[in-house]
Amino acid sequence: MTSKLAETAKRLTSDSTPASAISMPRLDQCALLLDIDGTLLDFAPTPREVWVPPELEHTLRQLHDRTSGALALVSGRSINDIDLIFAPMKLPAVGGHGAEMRLLSSGEAVATHAPPLDPELKSRLAAIARISPGILLEDKGYSLALHYRLAPHTEKAIYESVAAIRAENPHAPLEVLPGKSVCEIKHSGFTKATGVIELMKHHPFTGRRPVFIGDDVTDETVFAIMPELQGLAFSVGRHSDVVDGHFEEPRDVREWLVGLLDQPVT
């Protein structure tokens, strides 16, 4: 963990302001950057079982229009997976923890020159899923996720197995992301933050003030860059003084997004 991230993590324990108390930029001046799982959507037992409330789809479509297309999903999921979940809607996105990007809802997903995992290491890491039938392996191309929500007792064994492989390959550029009931492993050469920085260089995002909402450890890289982008950061589920405000749960985020549509149209 870099010292900047360590500092961020340390401060993620203290209080922050409720999101409702923070003054938002006008929709025609901001870029809305939204994490998916645990932020827009409630957690489900497995990645494919998430449910997108129809009202959320409606809200996201309207906000996409009101921001002239500057609304992007910023996720650990691949863009292909994001499209399956939100089908038939397609939105701009940073996917795969920064490995992929799509600038326009009508555009193609493009790789962001993210380095892949070494194939041999990847297959050794994937084999960890065989510890128990309750572990779900998600191969996202650029990264692997070992889900243990259905087998919480395997958490320790998963992390110990990953640590053993890392110890045998001390120079391999691997990053381990401890998510919500998931251990994710990717190349260390990209993050959600590198994806967001790239996204913000392009139309329709460039020149706008980013507003990022996320709930997870992987979102901390984006919280950390919001000040230099003159952006606003919001956390979900935990209070923090590195963010501008917080939400208690995804339902509050969804309601807040609906409220943004009350801004006068300029």
Ligand X SMILES: O=P(O)(O)OC[C@H]1O[C@H](O[C@H]2O[C@H](CO)[C@@H](O)[C@H](O)[C@H]2O)[C@H](O)[C@@H](O)[C@@H]1O
Footprint of ligand X on this chain (CB under 6 A)? 35-38, 43-47, 50, 75-77, 138, 140, 145, 147, 149, 179-182, 184, 216, 218
CB 117 within 8 A of CB 186: yes
Q: Which residues contact 39 (CB under 8 A, 6 or more apart)?
A: 213, 214, 215, 219, 236, 250, 253
Is beta strand 182-187 parallel, antiparallel or unpaired with respect to 174-179? antiparallel
Q: Which is nearer to ligand X, 16 or 218 (CB)?
A: 218
Q: Which is nearer to ligand X, 77 or 208 (CB)?
A: 77
Whole-angstrom Cα distance, residue 205 to residue 67?
9
CB of 215 to ligand X, least distance (A): 7
Whole-angstrom Cα distance, residue 230 to residue 234?
14
Single out the residue of 135, 167, 137 nearest to residue 154, CA to CA.
135
CB of 113 to ligand X, least distance (A): 20
CB of 184 to ligand X, least distance (A): 6
Q: Which is nearer to ligand X, 103 or 146 (CB)?
A: 146
CB of 86 to ligand X, least distance (A): 12
β-sheet bridge partners, residue 146: 137, 183
Q: Which residues are catalytic?
A: 35
Q: Which is nearer to ligand X, 47 or 231 (CB)?
A: 47
